[in-house]
Structure 1
Amino acid sequence: MALSFRFWRLNLLPKPSLSHLQTTLKALKPLKQKLSPICSLPMSSSSLNPLNSHLSISKNPTFSEPHNPTACPQDDLVVLGIETSCDDTAAAVVRGNGEILSQVVSSQADLLAQYGGVAPKMAEEAHLQVIDQVVQEALDKAKLTERNLSAIAVTIGPGLGLCLRVGVRKARKIAGSFNLPIIGVHHMEAHALVARLNERELQFPFMALLISGGHNLLILARDLGQYIQLGTTIDDAIGEAYDKTAKWLGLDLRRSGGPAIEELAREGDAKSIKFSIPMKQHKDCNFSYAGLKTQVRLAIESENINATIPISSASSEDRRTRADIAASFQRVAVLHLEERCERAIEWALKIEPSVKYLVVSGGVASNQYVRAQLDQVVQRNSLRLVCPPPSLCTDNGVMVAWTGIENFRIGRFDPPPPSDEPEDIVYDLRPRWPLGEEYAEGRSEARSMKTARIHPSLTSMIQASSQQQP
């Protein structure tokens, strides 16, 4: 059941008192309007009782004129966006008219190269070291101070909990100190909506393919906050497959695996190795790259490629072999995307025949080969491909700020947190946060990781074993 309520994002513990809640709701009464939740989250009947809701309540919330979205012209909105969901610390300041006043990103490329991927604890420490500097630089480049802001937007999920906490803590500190509303942002929604910043003709409904290191997601965006999930990742995302393949081939990971694979693949024969396209037997729109990763690893082992020898030091023959593997992998990885998109377009047009656009965003959307192949898919289906600029495809503060603006305009925000909020407060972060309702036709047995990965005979053995235990 879809519920409408204003306090719906940065929920905190402990629960507010009844008198506290009544005082707050009374103060907000003039702003009351019908709102719909941004994502379809499971709600129980207890959610109808305010006493059973963990709300983010300030002691004395006051909204000056700039903080009232109904009284603030959109061009006068100025929102600071903070993004720390994974391995990049990012902040940006964006106006309501879409003008990007500043954009700052601090990369953890050296850590990625050192650990061969994201190490959550190390990533958290890296965020902590630079978060203050990144936010201040974003404000300085915009030639503004916190007092010039209308609101703060911050990613609260999905992502790594340790990393999300760093951004949320910083956002709440600023919001509390300067009495600013705060907007909790869904990371994947931000990847989809940032396309609307540059492409003003992009109106709802539209489709979006969101592809990154942690997620593959196909959605139908019917309106702001109304999403239907057509397909999702059941094990590994395409970005993870790119990163692992690049690591096994001894490529430079400081730019992440995607650009490294794409560059090397230009030298190889994409049909030299016959990798199987994932999930051909499943007639849905879900994604799986775990099996393709295994195929690539076995091919690399069969060619006796030594990943400790960097590609720059490889012999010409060895380099050619690595290039063939990179090209063959990329071809099949993207074919999987193409097949899923073809079917998703068919489903989406049944639901919303007026769909005209497919947005492709997320880190992997920076890959020119991916864009070119998907452009052919949309042309065959009389749609138009929309891709944000590469700098807005990877994780960034602009997409968070813009998503905050879109939600702030219709009143979806939390009031300023207390200025004296304790350091050890428990934030309601959402490391696993679905975007939208699952399309009924898209449900399949492969959606279960156990079903996808464990052979039926092993499943029965596991069940029998668990029944014998006391």
Structure 2
Amino acid sequence: MAEEAHALAIDQVVQKALDDANVSESDLSAVAVTIGPGLSLCLRVGVHKARKIAKVFHLPIVGVHHMEAHALVSRLVNKDLDYPFLALLISGGHNLLVLAQNLGEYVQLGTTIDDAIGEAYDKSARWLGLDIRKGGGPALEELALEGDPNSINFRVPMRQHKDCNFSYAGLKTQVRLAIESRNLCTDDIPISSATEEDRQLRANIAASFQRIAVLHLEDRCQRAVEWALKMEPSIKHFVVSGGVASNQYVRARLNHIAEKNGLQLVSPPPSLCTDNGNEFVVMSCN
């Protein structure tokens, strides 16, 4: 279904981009296309369209790595951002800590061993019966503002592991068990129909989840900063990008990590955190 949806939309999306830029395909000097990571069937639709345009107008094709584009889009908001820098890429499918030494030269310091933080946010939002039409992450972040982040004693993942890897599968299980143990009927009663007491319980779970989910980020990022500074003492910037980077609580906590270590946090505005065309333009130009 995802491939079919991409195929149905690709022509009109490309045409709208051209119209918005007030150019035609004949004005182009190159075609940039995502080559991964992502769903291969969906990526294939984009690659096929790019090849078609390139063939007709004799243009070069620039393959773009999805996560590398997320890291480099920050250059749109901070012209001083230069190599080397530490980058945290957080989304529904990725938790990646990398030391960017140069364009195309990266040292992976940590990744997720199971689920990414964005997936944990989305799944928890569904279990809590939230309206996820605009995304589970934003819905949970909003509800968490009403809750007590210390009300539920969730465990911080992997504190016994002294590395920079992430794990969110166990925290997801803790959230599900917290909902079940409180007999919350979130499947049958959406948050919009919940009683005041029910809503408060859900808000407490959301806030407690968010505190621990981000504390796990802080733990791993602190260690990554220490490792990165040993390898590249000239690092000045800590880049945080990807869809979850639009979360204001996440930004605030990671800014604390950056400042504590003498680094500047660089994160694009929320509109550029999620997948967007601007990041691929930046990447292809680089």
- TM-score clears 0.5: yes
Structure richer in helix, relative to its length: 2
Q: Does 1:391 align with 2:271?
A: yes
Partner of 2:230: 350
What residue identity is the alignment partner of 2:75? R
Partner amino acid for 2:191? I
Counterpart mapping for 1:91-240 below 5 A? 122-240=1-119
Residue 136 of structure 1: how far off its partner (Å): 0.2
1:194 is paired with a residue whose SS is: helix
Structure number with bigger Rg:
1
Q: Which consecutive segments of 4 or more residues in structure 1 shift more than 2 A? A: none
| Correspondences of 1:41-80 after superposition (within 5 Å) | none
Quote the residue 1:373 is aligned against. Answer: 253
Distance 1:271 1:293 in 2: 17
Deviation (angstroms), 1:310 = 0.9
CA shift for structure 1 position 311: 0.4
1:147 is displaced (CA, Å) by: 1.3
Letter in 2 for 1:125: E
Aligned to 2:168: 289
Look up the equivalent residue of 1:372 and give its one-letter code: A
Superimposed CA distance per residue, residues 229-286 of structure 1 (whole angstroms, 9 cap, x where no aligned partner): 0000110000000000000000111111110000000000000000000000000000
Partner of 1:382: 262
2-structure distance, mates of 1:226, 1:159:
21
Q: Is residue 258 of structure 1 aligned with residue 137 of structure 2?
A: yes
Equivalent pairs counted in the alignment come to 285
2:16 partner amino acid: E
- SS of the residue 2:239 aligns to: strand
Does 2:197 align with 1:317?
yes
Structure 1 gaps, min length 5? 1-121, 407-470
The amino acid across from 1:179 in the alignment is H
Give the deviation of 1:175 after TM superposition: 0.8
Cα deviations by residue, 1:322-343 (Å, 9 ceiling, x for unpaired): 0000000000000000000000
Distance between the aligned counterparts of 1:297 and 1:329, measured in 2?
A: 11
Query: Kindly, what percent of the aligned residue pairs are identical?
Result: 72
**TM-score calculated relative to the size of structure 2:** 0.99
Shift of 1:171: 0.9
Secondary structure, aligned partner of 2:14: helix
Between the aligned partners of 1:371 and 1:185, the Cα distance in structure 2 is: 26
> What is the CA deviation profile of residues 352-371 of structure 1, one whole-angstrom value per residue up to 9, with x for unaligned ones?
00000000000000000000
CA–CA separation in structure 1 for the residues paired with 2:199 and 2:232: 48
Q: Secondary structure at the match of 2:26?
A: helix
Question: How far is the alpha carbon of 1:198 from its aligned partner?
Answer: 2.2
Q: Please state whether the residue corresponding to 2:240 is helix, strand or coil.
A: strand
Letter in 2 for 1:400: F
Residue 301 (structure 1) aligned to one of 156, 165, 180: 180
The answer to whether 1:269 aligns with 2:180 is: no
Q: What amino acid does structure 2 have at the position aligned with 1:365?
A: A
How far is 1:392 from its partner?
0.9
Cα distance in 1 for partners of 2:137, 2:21 equals 31
Partners of 2:199 and 2:55 lie apart in 1 by 55
Deviations 1:53-86 (A, max 9, x none): xxxxxxxxxxxxxxxxxxxxxxxxxxxxxxxxxx
> Matches of 2:53 and 2:77 in 1, distance apart?
28
Structure 2 CA distance for aligned equivalents of residues 129 and 312 of structure 1: 34
2:199 aligned with 1:329, yes or no?
no
Post-superposition shift, 1:305? 1.4
* SS of equivalent residue, structure 1 residue 364: helix
Quote the Cα distance in structure 2 between the aligned partners of 1:286 and 1:211.
13
Cα deviation for residue 129 of structure 1 reads 1.4
Unaligned runs of 5+ in 2: none
AA at the equivalent of 1:160? L
CA RMSD of aligned residues (A): 0.7
Cα deviation code 1:339-388 (max 9, x no counterpart) = 00000000000000000000000000000000000001111001000001
Within 2, Cα distance between the matches of 1:267 and 1:254? Answer: 20
Distance 2:2 2:195 in 1: 35
In structure 1, the residue corresponding to 2:133 is in which secondary structure? Answer: helix
Shift of 1:289: 0.1
Matched position secondary structure for 2:35? strand
- In 1, the alpha carbon distance for the partners of 2:112 and 2:42 equals 22
Residue identity opposite 1:142 in structure 2: A
SS in 2 for 1:137: helix
